[in-house]
Structure 1
Amino acid sequence: MNVNAALYKPIGLGVSVLGGLAANAAFRKIWRATSGDDKAPEPTDPSQTWRTVLIGAAAQGAVFGLVKAAVDRAGATGYKKMTGHWPDDRAEEKAG
């Protein structure tokens, strides 16, 4: 592990935690606006349909994936702006 990757590790962890919180808040807001419910149905809830459970799971996965990618990318970009180096210079070398 190079120095930049080692320095970024605790920052990346903090960014990921904040990203998870942001993703959860975004998903709850989207789900509430589209379904009227405060949270997505549990897969084992017998009162829910297959359709509702699967749509909820797909939407949650999409929101979490999108927010995580955006937050991770923003964290790496911010790190580069502060230090002049990408968090993992090996990845930057591969990119050209």
Structure 2
Amino acid sequence: MIASALFSKVWKAVAHEDDVPDASDEERAWKQILPAVALKGALAAVVKAVIHRSGATGVRGLTGTWPA
């Protein structure tokens, strides 16, 4: 959910479009869809890493050990 919201904001800023390309959108070309999907995947990976790293840091703060 966080990654989706972030993606929408970044896409609007980068592409200057309100409508995000969808892979099943017949009106969009590959050159519009592929960058959007790549950006969405990259942002999802970054958000996932931040959440996991923050959780591990929190566990270390509570227990004194890094989770395995």
Task: Verify same fold: TM over 0.5.
Answer: yes
TM-score category of the 2 structures, normalised to the smaller one = 0.7 to 0.9
Q: Which runs of 5+ in 1 are unaligned?
A: 1-20, 89-96
Flag the structure with more relative contact order, 1 or 2, with Cα contacts below 8 A and sequence separation at least 6: 1
When normalised by structure 2's length, the TM-score is 0.85
Q: Where do residues 43-58 of structure 1 align in structure 2 (5 Å cutoff)?
A: 43-58=23-38
CA distance in structure 1 between the aligned counterparts of 2:4 and 2:23, rounded to whole angstroms: 18
Which position in structure 2 is the counterpart of 1:23?
A: 3
| Residue among 38, 42, 46 paired with 1:62 | 42
When normalised by structure 1's length, the TM-score is 0.63
Q: Larger C-alpha radius of gyration, 1 or 2?
A: 1
Q: CA, structure 1 residues 38+75, in 2 after alignment: closer, same or farther (shift >3 Å)?
A: farther
Higher helix share: 1
Percent identity of paired positions between Structure 1 and Structure 2 = 38
RMSD: 1.4
